[in-house]
Amino acid sequence: MKDREVATRRRKVTGKWEYTWHLWATLLLHIIAIVLFTRGFLLTRTELPYYSNSSDVSESQCVYSSSHNNASSWTKPAVNRLIIIVLDALRFDFVAPSTFFPESKRWMDKLEVLKDVVSKNPTSARIFKAIADPPTTSLQRLKGLTTGGLPTFVDVGNSFGAPAIVEDNFLNQVDNGCIEHLFPSLYEDDWDVLISHFLGVDHAGHIFGVDSTPMIEKLEQYNSILEKVIEVLEKESGPGSLHENTLLVVMGDHGQTLNGDHGGGGAEEVETAIFAMSVKKPPSSVPVEYDTSSCQLDLDGKNVCVSTMQQLDFAATMSALLGIPFPYGSIGQVNPELYALGAGSWNSDASQELSESDIWMQNYANTLCINSWQVKRYIDAYSASSAVGFSSDDLSQVASVYAQAETQWLCSTKKLLLDKNKGTDALVPALKKQIEAYFNFLRTVAELARSKWTEFDLYMMGTGIAIMSISLIFQVLVILRANSQDGATLASSGYGWIFSASTFAFFLLGMRAVSFLSNSFILEEGKVAIFLLSTSGIVALRKSVVKGELLKESVGFLLLCTFCRFGIEIGLSKQSATSAFMKEYTSWILNIASDLPVWNHAAEVVPILVLILLAFWLYKATSGIFFGWTRKIVILCTILTYILIIVHWITENNRYVLAFMPESIGRTYIPRIIYAILLGQLLLLAFAQLFKGNCSDCKTNLVAKTTAMLAAWSSTIILLSGKQGPAVAFASIIGGYCIMRLCDIEDENGPKRSLSIGPFPVMQWNLFATCLFFCSGHWCAFDGLHYGAAFIGFEEFMLIPQAIILTLDTYGFSIILPIFGLPFLVATKYKADLGKHVLFRQLSQIYTTYGLITAIMTMFTIFCVTLHRRHLMVWGLFAPKFVFDVFGLILTDILICLASLYYFDQGKDDHHHN
Amino acid sequence: MDRRRKREKTTVIKPSTVDSQSAPKISPSETFIVALSCVFGLGIALYVANSGFSIDLVTDPSRTIFFISLVELPIAILLFSRYRQNPRKCTYLRALGRGLLAVPIGALLNCLGAIALGAPVTFQFLPRTVNWSLMMSLFTAVPASCVLGSSWAHWKRIFAQTRPNGSVEYLICLPAHGAVIGGWFGAWPMPLDWERPWQEWPICVSYGAIGGYLVGLVASCVFVLACDRSQHVKQT
């Protein structure tokens, strides 16, 4: 007797924690796992807010040879003007002669003017094979080209929205603007650097592929443009002319595959070309030691040489040539061959006793000195400011290599340089040694930076995956334990059926999880989800045929699946319109939608009607059952907000603007009022938690709570989803109702109905939620976010509220509503005589199962991302999917915890039932 | 497509108890002949389509599938009508009529199932969808209709519960389930970006369905043989 009292008291103390502690533990485990994995997976360089100043150079130990004392430059300017023509997605084999490749293809040898120039003037023009650092996306690469740094993940994400900026259809117009402005500019003298970016090749590649007629036409067009540019430059190349000392650079920012894709780290994507031509002829070529070029005869028998360089080095080299400060975050080295093209301007002030190549070497050594100093400064500043800097081992290695080069500079080379009287015999070997030392340093830094910034930290990723697996095992154990408890207390009749249904549920889940292995399935994830949902619907129909009951519900569910399917297809066609990853996909529904004017009116009126229907239904459904007064208020508020939403939509349509209300009220104030009402409702519900009503009828209480919660959220989510909101809300109500009813028939063989809910309905609930995500026009990419929704009620940009609103819009139908709606599933099974404990155990069980399903999916996403980390589409598809899933998982966990706080009362009146 | 997903087969199989209601029992050798003629029908249809009209599933799916249906239709109806239930009450001709009637109904059901699962509904694909549904109807509904007629209880037992009773019902049930499940799995390669012609609707689904149908035929033969043997053991 006493024991029992103690037990009861302990239960009082632990209360709901007994049922909910593992939910919090899971949340914690997931957060740790995901933070660790993300650390290892996403490129984690932080950007420093520093800039290089021209006066900084005095801090270095480097010197100038005499004459040049211009304070505004770091190195001696070698060129006065720079023309950069960027051809987006320029493959290396567009530029290099076809003889460099085993097989001649249709698209090769089209930019003939470049190699003609190179073969004519081997000293003043060069072709480079430039190796880019993945991810090979345009924004990313342009940033890399200009800063000389390595990419960070945030840019990668952003750049995938870029295809939306330029309409693909305007293929021919894209470049015309460039051409219009390029030629007049060539004759003007008010610029130092002229950059012209041609997108045509990239677009031709995305739309038609490399081996296509539009691509060839585009290349031929570029050939003629470049011919004209070079002609102009050569005409103006005389002493005192406009382009006396100009450098022309024609370059690609990245390559592309034969399909026109880019983004990954494949050889075709990272290899692009740089063509550089100095108008002023440099006297001689680079000293042999620094010449990496390989030469071959082209089809016309001309000798063409091609060198190799890292794209990373471009920024530093250009800065050195122009004599401007190197970018602060650049870790590239000044490329000797490209730098040599500017050597023409130095002869004038050279002393007579040195040969040309020695002067060049002298300059180059000095440039490298500044270059190394600047890189060292950046590395030091980076490790000082960033939390995830380099390890101390790496740092000390870098420092020692630098110290070695620096000592050599101070002790021997500098003296030799300053001392003009010494002969060249001692100087040249010393310079060579010096250059070698600097090369060594810069190479070490670049290697280190690559391994830290663009390589994945497999150890971290592995740890993350391991912790994630532990959390999965933990969840499974919790479920099994609860099951065994159930088995002890309740007759496990119909257990065999539950077993086979769960097998089937896990089979469907497994199919979905395995489908993440392929980028195609991720692209069409919505279709896969609806396929599986319909399959589960068909199985449910089969079952209801066997039992001969609930036929209407199962057929209705299948019909709903069919509707969802069309909704998802409309969403996918939107995706293809903005995404560069999908070829044209036209949906006949869209065509009909845009063609008929009647449809436009319907599109305005139908959502309003559906919303009125929803409000009416909500009123009817809640007027009957017992509700606390707080919940009554919440429901009434929701109905009020529905009316407000209708007013908001009407005022948005200029056609029906009401005369007595200024437009701005409808636009901004109504949404804000609705957000405020949501907050008020949530507070009210939380407040009502404090007062324990008498729990005479737990089931009704639970249903009332759930309804109030869903009603509170629904209005904001509908508002954010726009016109499709009411329809999706309606669909989710019907779908939820069908799943709820159908889970009732699953166990019937035995005389006593089992109370436990198998994973099958929960899996259906989860799949249906996923389908709603796609139905409401979202997809797992950053351009799939409805940025417009963030500005409902806000005119200007405010980060935090808008981030919250965007989250509400993105995950409203697919995470928030399903999770708060899950207790309905429990309520259908519950019988009044069983006491509160059973109810709570079921609730906890169902939430754990739901969390487990989401976690399994995320686990597979994480796993596939790891597996495909070198995949072509890793930044285009897998990484966004990863971000969406991980965010969704954390949100799911948090919401489950919050829901557990809300739905689990303190177990005060437990002892009555025990 | 998984309308009639089979339950765990092993739990379902019981020694077949012959009752007067169910279809007449046929010997294993006869079962083999029926199964073989179905397989031959398929093979001949594909061969003639390929050599006579030089089309196959990939180049002209619509007509090839139609051709398969055309060849299978008489085979299925004529063969299975011989094993109709209650042969005294129901004439052979009536069974034939039932089979013919089942063709459009089965096609409609299959078509609806496919659309719910995501089959394209554009007009461009309409002939393919129609022909595919006809073929699926011949694999699933027509034999059952010839044998079972309109007896809802039998239909329910065979297709919703997967509890075939006797050799003829095995011949109806397992190939039908095989075709549906095969088609379901056959749909999986469709979204892949391999850009192969056979990924189009309904080519790979048809491949899957035909493959599943064949597996089902073989499985039904095996089951009939096993049941026969176990019964012999009982009797002796």
B3 lies within 8 A of chain A by CB: yes
**A659 has pLDDT over 60:** no
A804 lies within 8 A of chain B by CB: no
Q: Provide ipTM, 2 decimals.
A: 0.89
A774 lies within 8 A of chain B by CB: no
The pLDDT of residue A151 is 64
A247 or B39, higher pLDDT = B39
A33 lies within 8 A of chain B by CB: no
Q: Across chain B, what does the average pLDDT equal?
A: 84
**B125 has pLDDT over 70:** yes
Contact A542 B3 (CB under 8 A): yes
Q: Which residue in B has a C-alpha nearest to residue A523's C-alpha?
A: B191
Q: How far is A715 from chain B, CA to nearest CA, in Å?
A: 30
The pLDDT of residue A20 is 82
**A438 has pLDDT over 60:** yes
- Per residue in A624-634, pLDDT tens? 666 677 888 88
Whole-angstrom Cα distance, residue A9 to residue A4? 9
Query: Which of A520, A542, A546 lies closest to B192 in CB terms?
Result: A520
Contact A527 B160 (CB under 8 A): no
Mean of pLDDT values over A640-656: 80
pLDDT band for position A699 (cuts 50, 70, 90) = confident
Q: Across chain A, what does the average pLDDT equal?
A: 77
Top residue of A565, A568, A585, A587 to mutate, by most chain B CBs within 10 Å, is A565
pLDDT band for position A694 (cuts 50, 70, 90) = low
Contact B116 A534 (CB under 8 A): yes
Q: Look at A201-215, A385-399, A497-511 and tell me which has the smallest mean pLDDT.
A: A385-399
Q: Which residue in A has a C-alpha nearest to residue B187's C-alpha?
A: A531
pLDDT band for position A64 (cuts 50, 70, 90) = low
B193 contacts on A by Cβ (under 8 Å): 519-520, 523
Top residue of A546, A576, A775, A871 to mutate, by most chain B CBs within 10 Å, is A546
**Residue from A201, A196, A200 nearest A183 by CA:** A196
Q: Estimate to the nearest angstrom the gap between the alpha carbon of A190 and the chain centroid.
A: 40
The pLDDT of residue A594 is 52
**A493 has pLDDT over 50:** no
Q: How far is A109 from chain B, CA to nearest CA, in Å?
A: 29
Report residue A626: phi and psi, to 5°.
-70, 130
Mean of pLDDT values over A477-505: 67
A36, A221, A380, A381, A512 from A386: Cα distances, Å = 17, 47, 10, 8, 40
The pLDDT of residue A350 is 45
**A71 has pLDDT over 60:** no
The pLDDT of residue A787 is 75
Query: Which of A500, A511, A530 lies closest to B7 in CB terms?
Result: A500
The pLDDT of residue B19 is 44
pLDDT band for position A70 (cuts 50, 70, 90) = very low
- Per residue in A151-178, pLDDT tens? 655 544 444 333 333 333 333 444 666 6
- Per residue in A381-428, pLDDT tens? 877 776 556 777 888 888 888 888 888 877 776 766 666 555 556 677
Provide the percentage of residues in chain B whose pLDDT is more than 70.
89
Highest mean pLDDT among A36-40, A182-186, A363-367, A406-410 belongs to A36-40
B122 lies within 8 A of chain A by CB: yes
The pLDDT of residue B183 is 94
The pLDDT of residue A65 is 44
**A59 has pLDDT over 60:** yes
Q: How far is A559 from chain B, CA to nearest CA, in Å?
A: 7
Cβ-contact A597, A674 below 8 angstroms:
no
Contact B192 A521 (CB under 8 A): yes
Contact B192 A545 (CB under 8 A): no
**Residue from A894, A876, A610, A884 nearest A770 by CA:** A884
Provide the percentage of residues in chain A whose pLDDT is more than 90.
16
Q: Please, what is the Cα angle at A670 between A667 and A671, to 5 degrees?
A: 85
The pLDDT of residue A595 is 53
Highest mean pLDDT among A519-528, A777-786, A810-819, A866-875 belongs to A810-819
B191 lies within 8 A of chain A by CB: yes
pLDDT band for position A494 (cuts 50, 70, 90) = very low
Contact B122 A588 (CB under 8 A): yes
A545 contacts on B by Cβ (under 8 Å): 156, 160
**Residue from A765, A679, A792, A776 nearest A730 by CA:** A776
Q: Look at A185-189, A747-751, A822-826, B24-28 and tell me which has the smallest mean pLDDT.
A: A747-751
**A851 has pLDDT over 90:** yes
pLDDT band for position A702 (cuts 50, 70, 90) = confident
Cβ-contact A749, A834 below 8 angstroms:
no
The pLDDT of residue A821 is 92
- Per residue in A6-26, pLDDT tens? 445 445 445 667 778 889 999
Burial bucket for residue B175 (CB in 10 Å: 0-12, 13-18, 19+): buried
The pLDDT of residue A345 is 63
Highest mean pLDDT among A26-35, A120-129, A193-202, B14-23 belongs to A26-35
The pLDDT of residue A398 is 83
A565 contacts on B by Cβ (under 8 Å): 115-118
B-contacting residues of A 581-600, CB under 8 Å?
588
Q: Look at A280-289, B85-94, B134-143, B204-213 and tell me which has the smallest mean pLDDT.
A: A280-289
B9 lies within 8 A of chain A by CB: no
A875 or B2, higher pLDDT = A875
Q: How far is A555 from chain B, CA to nearest CA, in Å?
A: 11
The pLDDT of residue A576 is 59
Mean of pLDDT values over B123-142: 92
Tokens 């051409």 -> residue: A179
**Residue from A618, A603, A597 nearest A649 by CA:** A603
B8 lies within 8 A of chain A by CB: yes
- Number of inter-chain CB pairs under 8 A, A vs B: 64
The pLDDT of residue A759 is 82
B188 contacts on A by Cβ (under 8 Å): 511, 515
The pLDDT of residue A421 is 57
The pLDDT of residue A67 is 41
A576 or A95, higher pLDDT = A95
A-contacting residues of B 11-30, CB under 8 Å?
11
**A586 has pLDDT over 60:** no
A562 contacts on B by Cβ (under 8 Å): 115-116
Name A237's bridge partners: none
Whole-angstrom Cα distance, residue A574 to residue A582? 11
Please name the amino acid found at residue A322: L
Top residue of B8, B110, B117, B200 to mutate, by most chain A CBs within 10 Å, is B117
- Per residue in A892-913, pLDDT tens? 999 999 998 888 875 444 444 4
- The tokens describing A572, both together, are 């996918």
Cβ-contact A532, A511 below 8 angstroms:
yes
Q: Which residue in B has a C-alpha nearest to residue A586's C-alpha?
A: B122
Contact A562 B116 (CB under 8 A): yes
A424, A478, A572, A622 from A874: Cα distances, Å = 54, 34, 20, 49
Contact A520 B1 (CB under 8 A): no
The pLDDT of residue A909 is 47
Q: Which residue in B has a C-alpha nearest to residue A537's C-alpha?
A: B3
**B219 has pLDDT over 90:** yes
Provide the percentage of residues in chain A whose pLDDT is more than 70.
75
Query: Which of A520, A546, A559 lies closest to B160 in CB terms?
Result: A546
Mean of pLDDT values over A881-899: 93
The pLDDT of residue A895 is 95
Burial bucket for residue B221 (CB in 10 Å: 0-12, 13-18, 19+): buried
The pLDDT of residue A489 is 47
Burial bucket for residue A827 (CB in 10 Å: 0-12, 13-18, 19+): buried
Whole-angstrom Cα distance, residue A47 to residue A822? 43
Q: Which residue in A has a C-alpha nearest to residue B123's C-alpha?
A: A588
Cβ-contact A448, A95 below 8 angstroms:
no
**B31 has pLDDT over 70:** yes
Cβ-contact A146, A253 below 8 angstroms:
no
The pLDDT of residue B9 is 32
A528 lies within 8 A of chain B by CB: yes
B156 lies within 8 A of chain A by CB: yes
Mean of pLDDT values over A299-318: 81
- Per residue in A756-789, pLDDT tens? 677 888 999 999 999 999 888 888 877 677 777 8
Highest mean pLDDT among A270-284, A557-571, A821-835 belongs to A557-571
- Per residue in A476-486, pLDDT tens? 999 888 877 76
Mean of pLDDT values over A726-753: 76
Whole-angstrom Cα distance, residue B41 to residue B37? 6
- The tokens describing A449, both together, are 């930076």
Q: Which residue in B has a C-alpha nearest to residue A564's C-alpha?
A: B116
The pLDDT of residue B17 is 40
- Per residue in B145-168, pLDDT tens? 998 888 888 888 888 888 888 888
A560 contacts on B by Cβ (under 8 Å): none
- Based on C-alpha coordinates, what's the Rg of chain A? 34
- Per residue in A519-558, pLDDT tens? 888 888 888 999 999 999 998 898 888 887 788 888 999 9
- Per residue in A78-127, pLDDT tens? 777 888 888 888 888 888 888 888 877 888 888 888 878 888 877 778 88
Contact A542 B4 (CB under 8 A): yes
DSSP letter for each residue of A389-448 = ---HHHHHHHHHHHHHHHHHIIIIIHHHHH-TTS-HHHHHHHHHHHHHHHHHHHHHHHHH
Top residue of A530, A534, A768 to mutate, by most chain B CBs within 10 Å, is A534
Q: Estimate to the nearest angstrom the gap between the alpha carbon of A200 and the chain centroid.
A: 25
